[in-house]
Amino acid sequence: MNNYSMIINGLPVAAEAGSFAVIDPATGVSFAESPCASVAQLDQAVDAADMAFQTWQYSSHEERKALLHKVADTIENHAAELAEIIVKEQGKPLALAQVEVGGSVAWTRYTAELEIPVEVVEDSENKRIEMHRKPLGVVGSILPWNWPLMIAVWHIMPALRAGNTVVVKPSPLTPFNTLRLVELMNEVLPAGVVNVLTDQDQLGPAMSQHEKIRKIVFTGSTPTGQHIMRSAASNLKRLTLELGGNDGGIVLPGADLDAITEGIFQTSFLNMGQTCAALKRLYVHESQYEELADKLVAIAKEQTLGSGFEEGVNFGPLQNQMQYDHVNRLIAEAREAGATIHASANVPEGEGYFIAPTIVTEATEGMSVVDEEQFGSVLPVISYTDVEDAIRQVNASENGLGGSVWGADLEQAQAIASRLECGTAWINGHAEVLPHAPFGGCKMSGFGVEFGQEGLFEYTRIQVVNINR
């Protein structure tokens, strides 16, 4: 592993607060040391971003588009390196890491081409009123560990396209991808436009309170999002919070199980279940409950666990000890509460954070594996008799990120999907996020949207120009 540096004002900087170990989740052993920034270095990074903003905000749309395409070229040229870093620090199989890098390139190119039009509110004989969208200033990005490169791109690229500058802080569990990404971006962009600091989470509060940071975009847990929201009141900074999700899916009576089972499994266990919008609770009508559960268990048995670098592996470890312990607790508590645990894939020996894909049957409301977000390789399957009760159970969660309905009658499925309390409702699918479709949650899953035109506008403020002729 190369020694990647933090970047402030386009230059590598040495850590002022020492370093910390980064663990390979496939072995449970440290493989490298990451630099650790001080609060003083955060101030330096914000000052650099603020200084760069004085020029960058006036760059033309065409200039920003061209530079973002160059950034995409640079990511693409270093795709193999970035994918290997993802596997080493995050744990996912290499093929999935390659998908993450490819998606990051495509997302950057799509974002580059988004327009920020001037809207004419009135154009009469005596008056013209225009609505312009202006950049905010310095944007603070706080990243999670599950999709370290992809979510960095989701945060950074629209901020830049809108004319903002950025200070980004990756998760201490997966710092190296972001360090390398920002290093590569600084080969293309003006100094200070994107800065990166790594730490062990002491800088988050300082970022959310910082008077010169005008917006925080955060992907992570609901409790952390609540802390950020409280701190952000100091200067009324804008927020985009994509927080926890405990997405429910409803399989309607008469559904074609052969057509949907693979999709249900893959969207439940995407990235070993460590995806905010993964399907995390499955409600199946009693007439098909046992058949669908058996099909899911059969697919789970076929998965090959191991290091993401090993050929043939399609299911990696959980990313960290805390998540490993959390998922194991949920499984143990479900067993104690009377549920049946199905986990037959072979788990590699050693200290890695491996949990075989686990189907939990006879799961019910009130079990922690149902009521809590698992964010890992376990799926509770709940039987229902009446679809109205299934809708009630899905909506009973305090979260509202995504939900889905699976069935052959699309009109019925859409009618039910419209009643789910969530930001995105999928039909015969789940966990699909697209660069042109706004994505965000409701209730305790946060607010604000990402992606598409609406997501880009989250990085702007409105200025109305009122012209009297």
The catalytically annotated residue of 84, 183, 242, 373 is: 242
Mean pLDDT of 8-23: 97
Residue 150 to residues 11, 102, 157, 242, Cα–Cα distance (Å): 24, 9, 11, 14
Same-fold call for 6-243+445-468 versus 247-434? no
Q: For position 345, what pLDDT does the model report? A: 79
- Residue 408 CA to residue 387 CA, distance in Å, equals 15
CA gap 418, 258 in Å, rounded: 25
Q: What is the pLDDT of residues 36-64, one digit of tens each?
A: 999 999 999 999 999 999 999 999 999 99
Confidence bin at 343 (pLDDT 50/70/90): confident
369-391 mean pLDDT: 98
* Mean pLDDT, range 375-395, rounded to an integer: 98
DSSP 311-365: TT--B---SSHHHHHHHHHHHHHHHHTT-EEE--SPPPSSSS-----EEEES--T
Domain covering 6-243+445-468 in this structure, CATH number: 3.40.605.10
List of E strands, 18-73: 19-24, 29-35
Q: Is the pLDDT of residue 2 over 80?
A: no
Separation of alpha carbons 353 and 329, rounded Å = 14
Backbone phi, then psi, for 181, in 5-degree steps?
-55, -50
Mean pLDDT in residue range 132-153 = 98
Task: Decide if 242 is catalytic.
Answer: yes
CA atoms of 416 and 248, how far apart (whole Å): 13
* Distance spanning both ends of the chain, measured CA to CA: 64
3-state SS class at 29? strand
pLDDT reading at 347 higher than 80:
yes
Mean pLDDT on 372-382: 98
What SS3 state is found at 107? helix
What tokens appear for 183 in the block? 């290093």
Checking if the pLDDT of 119 tops 70, the result is yes
The upper half-sphere exposure of residue 457, i.e. CA atoms within 13 Å in the direction of its Cβ, equals 16
| Residue 223: HSE in the Cβ half-sphere, 13 Å Cα cutoff | 1
* Residue 323 confidence (pLDDT): 98
Strand partners, 379: 359
The tokens of 167 are what?
């200070």
Which is the catalytic residue, given 36, 84, 276, 422? Answer: 276
Q: What number is the average pLDDT over the span 362-379?
A: 98
* pLDDT over 90 at 344, yes or no: no
pLDDT in tens, 394-408: 999 999 999 999 999
Evaluated on CA atoms 243, 267, 369, 388, the torsion sign reads: positive
Instruction: Collect all residues with Cβ–Cβ distance below 8 Å to 130 and sequence separation of at least 6.
Output: 118, 119, 120, 121, 464, 465, 467
Q: Which residue type, as a one-letter code, is found at position 318? A: L
Q: Is the dihedral of CA 317, 318, 322, 323 positive or negative?
A: negative
CATH architecture of the region 247-434: 3-Layer(aba) Sandwich (3.40)
Q: b or e along 328-340 (b: 16 or more beta carbons within 10 Å of the residue's beta carbon)?
A: bebbeebeebebe
Which pLDDT score, from 0 to 100, does residue 3 have?
84
Span 255-313, pLDDT tens digits: 999 999 999 999 999 999 999 999 999 999 999 999 999 999 999 999 999 999 999 99
Structural domain boundaries in the chain: 6-243+445-468, 247-434
Please report where in the chains the tokens 């008469």 appear, as a residue. 254
What tokens were used for 247?
């997405």
Q: Return the beta strands (E) in 118-246 as ranges.
A: 119-123, 127-135, 138-142, 165-169, 194-196, 213-219, 238-242
pLDDT band at 1 (very low <50, low <70, confident <90, very high): low
Give the whole-angstrom CA distance, residue 363 versus residue 370: 7
Q: Which residues contact 228 (CB under 8 A, 6 or more apart)?
A: 142, 204, 208, 216, 218, 239, 241
The pTM for the full model equals 0.97
* pLDDT-above-90 percentage for the chain: 98
